[in-house]
Amino acid sequence: AKSFLAQQKLLLIDRAEQLDGKSDALASLIGVRPENGNVRFKAIDNPPQSFTEESVDDLIEKAYNSNLELIAARKEVDAANSLAEAGSWEALPSVDVVGSFVSKSIGGDSQDIIFGGDTLRSTTSGSFGDVLNQVFKRKFPGWSIGVELSMPIGLRSGLGEQDRLEAQAKNVKQKYIELTRILEQQVRTAHRELSHGNERLKAAEEGVEAAQEQVRIGMIEFQNGRITAFELVQLNEDFAIAQQRYSEALIKTVNAVATLKKLTSGIYSEANN
């Protein structure tokens, strides 16, 4: 009996540590810690005892249409394909029309100009303000226009960029295909666990009831001296194991429901409300 008690105490400590770890992970995810000095979050209700099943093909279709990660990957594929299609223009020569429209000024101090044997003085002079006035009033306008043609040698740079974009699009497409396969596999696995959930819970519950009945009968037989205390402890141990198996079955089924809700981005949960 003492050995069984010590074993159960150790098991209780392990379960408490696991609950603390799950609670810490939840607190880190939602950014909120337990209130009122509690070490961990505590459930206020019990998980449902039965679950609605759907066709696995319907669940896969819902996951394809609503999974946010898959939708983002699909948009990434569309963007990569658009860039690859536009990359063909990079291989063509580029023609640019260039032009300019300017305004000049003539100003400054008068200067002596020696031409042959004559010395002449320039008639154009003015201050810095006169220079700015000539520019803004466009007294000496000018313009130019032309065409620039850029042709890469052998079109190698443009064709290389096009090949790179096409390879990138194929790589993104393969990642999308891989993601769809992983998603389908996860949906099928969760659906398989859920499809056996009700049956699993029923079997585990029957095991708990049977073990509990064995303990009840064992107590009567122990009081009548027909079994020993060691045998009674073994019956209680079997009852504790049956309860643990029921909890594991319930957790596995609820986890399958949560997984389907996650993979369908909440669509599965809304369909069963």
Q: How far apart are CA 164 and CA 8, in angstroms?
A: 63
Residue 156 has pLDDT above 90, yes or no: no
Count of alpha carbons within 13 angstroms of residue 8, beta-carbon side: 15
Q: Determine what percent of the chain is predicted with pLDDT higher than 70.
A: 86
Residue 30 has pLDDT above 90, yes or no: no
Nearest 5°: the CA angle 97, 99, 101 is 160
- Tokens representing 169 are 């699009």
CA dihedral 42, 44, 46, 48 (to 10 degrees): -120
Predicted local confidence at residue 64, as pLDDT: 92
The predicted model scores a pTM of 0.62
For the chain, the helix, strand and coil percentages under 3-state DSSP, each to the nearest 5: 65, 10, 20
Predicted local confidence at residue 271, as pLDDT: 52
Listed residue (175, 173, 156, 178) closest to 84, CA to CA: 173
**Beta pairing partners, 143:** 101
Q: Which residue has the tokens 């699909």?
A: 74
Q: Which residue has the tokens 């939602």?
A: 30
Listed residue (177, 189, 178, 182) closest to 56, CA to CA: 189
pLDDT band for position 266 (cuts 50, 70, 90)? confident
pLDDT tens digit sequence for 105-145? 666 666 777 777 777 766 666 676 777 777 777 777 877 88
Report helix, strand or coil for 100.
Answer: strand
Q: How far apart are CA 249 and CA 119, in angstroms?
A: 114
pLDDT band for position 36 (cuts 50, 70, 90)? confident
- Among 33-42, 114-123, 125-134, 173-182, the range with the most confident prediction by mean pLDDT is 173-182
The amino acid occupying position 44 is I
Count of alpha carbons within 13 angstroms of residue 69, beta-carbon side: 14
Of 88 and 31, the structure prediction assigns the larger pLDDT to 31
Predicted local confidence at residue 110, as pLDDT: 67
pLDDT tens digit sequence for 192-236? 988 888 888 889 999 999 999 999 999 999 898 888 888 888 898
Ranking 14-23, 191-200, 264-273 by mean pLDDT, the lowest is 264-273
Predicted local confidence at residue 31, as pLDDT: 86
Residue 68 has pLDDT above 60, yes or no: yes
Q: How many residues does the chain have?
A: 273
Residue 254 has pLDDT above 90, yes or no: no
